[in-house]
Amino acid sequence: MKPLQLLVAVFTLSMAVVVSARAEVTGSHYDYTINGAAYQGYVAHNSNLDESRGTVLIIHDWDGLTDYEERRADMLASLGYTAFAIDVYGRDNRPTSMQENQQRSGEMYADRAAFQRRLTAALDAVDDIPGGTDNVVVIGYCFGGAGVLELARTGAETEGFVSFHGGLGLPEGQDYNDVAAPILIQHGSADPVSGMSDVAALLDALQAAGVEHNAQIHGGARHSFTVYGSGDYDLDADRASWQALTAFLEERLD
Class of domain 25-252: alpha beta
Q: What local confidence, expressed as pLDDT, does residue 188 receive?
A: 98
- Report how far apart the first and last C-alpha atoms of the chain are (Å, whole number): 37
pTM of full prediction above 0.85: yes
Kindly state the percentage of the chain with pLDDT values over 90.
89
pLDDT value of residue 22: 62
pLDDT band at 12 (very low <50, low <70, confident <90, very high): very low
- Is the predicted pLDDT of residue 68 greater than 80, yes or no? yes
What pLDDT is recorded for position 254? Answer: 85
d(CA 157, CA 114): 19
Q: What is the pLDDT of residue 11?
A: 36
The dihedral over CA atoms of 239, 136, 193, 170, expressed in degrees to the nearest 10, equals: -150
> Residue 15 pLDDT more than 80?
no
**Which range is least confidently modeled, 16-20, 135-139, 200-204, 223-227?**
16-20
Q: What is the pLDDT of residue 10?
A: 36
Q: Are 222 and 192 in contact (CB under 8 A)?
A: yes
Mean pLDDT computed over every residue of the chain: 92
Q: For residue 248, is pLDDT > 50?
A: yes
Q: In angstroms, what CA-CA distances link 84 with 67, 91, 200, 222, 242?
A: 13, 15, 30, 27, 17
Return the pLDDT at 9. Answer: 39
Phi first, then psi: give them for residue 204, nearest 5 degrees: -60, -40
Q: Is the pLDDT of residue 53 over 90?
A: yes
Q: In this predicted model, what pLDDT tens digit does every residue of 73-107 receive, in sequence order?
A: 999 999 999 999 999 999 999 999 999 999 999 99
If one compares 47 and 205, the residue with the highest pLDDT of the two is 205
Buried residues in 43-55 as b, exposed as e (16+ CB within 10 A): bbbbeebeebbbb
- SS3 for the chain is CCHHHHHHHHHHHHHHHHHHHHCCEEEEEEEEEECCEEEEEEEEEECCCCCCCCEEEEECCCCCCCHHHHHHHHHHHHCCCEEEECCCCCCCCCCCCHHHHHHHHHHHHHCHHHHHHHHHHHHHHHHHCCCCCCCEEEEEECHHHHHHHHHHHCCCCCCEEEEECCCCCCCCCCCCCCCCCCEEEEEECCCCCCCHHHHHHHHHHHHHHCCCEEEEEECCCCCCCCCCCCCCCCHHHHHHHHHHHHHHHHHHCC
Mean pLDDT (whole number) for 57-63: 98
Q: What is the pLDDT of residues 146-178, one digit of tens each?
A: 999 999 999 999 999 999 999 999 999 999 999
